[in-house]
């Protein structure tokens, strides 16, 4: 991936176990990434972020106990150096905008994760702010 210090410590927060397993398997293939934990709800994500101070958190929006957007706000307070990348099924441009304005570095739609997740992780870790190309088109169209 060509990123600074290794390993890059990653926390995955998603309530769908099959998805967490898929993402975890993909991350484990990357020698520069270290999966430090998996959680299934937003409150757990905040607690794990506080405890482990991960470099990157992959966060779903539709989490139980505490939704991903609110979890991201709280994570910003307890682990301000952690970068956040939302990975969600939700395609609502308003929700994507809200997620990005809450301090996330990027947003990837789960259906695009096969091709977009690793490049998005790299971009977010490099400090770039992004959303998948499809979102840029949607935002441009909505602003007209």
Q: Supply the CATH number for residue 116's domain.
A: 3.40.50.2300
Q: pTM higher than 0.75 for the full model?
A: yes
Classify 103 in phi/psi space as left (phi over 0), alpha (psi -120 to 50) or beta. Answer: left
**Is 58 a member of any domain?**
yes
What's the rounded mean pLDDT across residues 12-17?
96
Instruction: Give residue 85's domain range.
Output: 8-143
Does residue 139 form part of some domain? Answer: yes
Domains contained in the chain, number: 1
Domain presence at residue 3: no
Residue 37 lies in a domain: yes
Res. 4 pLDDT band, cuts 50 70 90: low
Kindly report, residue by residue over 90-135, the tens digit of the pLDDT.
988 888 889 888 888 999 999 888 888 999 999 999 988 665 554 4
Backbone dihedral region for residue 127 (phi beyond 0: left; psi -120 to 50: alpha; all else: beta): left
């Amino acid at each position: 991936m060509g990123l600074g210090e290794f390993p890059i410590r990653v926390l995955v927060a998603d309530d769908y176990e099959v998805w967490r397993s898929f993402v975890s398997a993909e991350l484990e293939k990357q020698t520069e990434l270290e999966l430090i934990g998996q959680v299934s709800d937003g409150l757990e994500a905040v607690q794990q972020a506080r405890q482990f101070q991960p470099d990157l958190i992959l966060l779903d929006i539709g989490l139980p106990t505490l939704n991903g957007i609110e979890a991201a706000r709280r994570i910003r307070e307890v682990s301000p150096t952690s970068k956040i990348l939302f990975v969600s099924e939700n395609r609502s441009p308003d929700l994507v905008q809200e997620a990005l304005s809450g301090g996330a570095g990027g947003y990837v739609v789960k259906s695009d994760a096969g091709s977009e997740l690793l490049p998005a992780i790299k971009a977010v870790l490099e400090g770039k702010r992004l959303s998948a190309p499809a979102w840029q088109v949607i935002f441009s169209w909505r602003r007209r």
